Amino acid sequence: MFLGNFNYPDYNEIPYCVITVDFILRAIIFPILLLFASVLNAEVYRWTDASGRTVFGDSPPEQTKAQTVELPTLTVADSYNDSEGKGKVANSAQAKEDDDAAETKAVEYKRFVVTSPEADASVRANNGNIMVRLGLEPGLQEGHGIVVYLDGKRVANGGSTVFSLESVDRGKHSLFAVLHDENDDVLKNTEAVSFNLLRHSVLKK
């Protein structure tokens, strides 16, 4: 096949463009960096327009008295794991409970006595109801309790130092109280107090 007199071009004379890393940095990356730098360094102004409205922007009109607005510094922090955060909160709460329990256990009661009825007293109560009052120093701590015994039998308990006993028989009785912690371990007990209860007796004729 005859192609005729065809003049092939000289490739050395054809202009060409070689895309290099330096070209990419100059043509693409640098303009982006300059754009971000200009945004970060741009100042924000505040001024009032002709309608009396407050306007914010970076290009205030020359005729207005614009004031520079100081923007707060942004703080960036790493995110955290929610479950880990909840675990830390739970552990902190548990540690506080343990500390409170330790403080409660560490309390030493210096005084625990029966103040009413008094020792060897004669108490008049026709209905058999008497009030038992206890002296405790320091005050009763959270989780601690008191049990009252009359003639060796448990008759009252609770988180108070005042108790009401009902329908106590007339005659001589012995009363004491026991102080315990949240685990029902005995911390202290009072000395036994003896008293005589007086009641009217109705004799049938």
Whether 1 is in a domain gets the answer no
Answer yes or no: do 90 and 119 share one domain: no
Q: Domain of 180: which CATH number?
A: 2.60.40.10
What span, in angstroms and rounded, lies between the C-alpha atoms of 11 and 109? 106
pLDDT over 50 at 24, yes or no: yes
What span, in angstroms and rounded, lies between the C-alpha atoms of 188 and 62? 86
Answer yes or no: do 122 and 63 share one domain: no
Task: For 120-148, write each residue's pLDDT tens digit.
Answer: 999 999 999 999 999 999 999 999 999 99
Task: For 91-120, write each residue's pLDDT tens digit.
Answer: 666 666 666 655 545 688 999 999 999 999
Answer yes or no: do 47 and 60 share one domain: yes
The alpha carbon of residue 69 and the mean position of all alpha carbons in its chain are separated, in whole angstroms, by: 38
Instruction: Work out the percent of the chain whose per-residue pLDDT is above 70.
Output: 57
Residue 16's domain spans which residues? 11-69
pLDDT over 50 at 21, yes or no: yes
- The structural domain count of the chain equals 3
Lowest-confidence range among 70-79, 107-116, 172-181?
Answer: 70-79
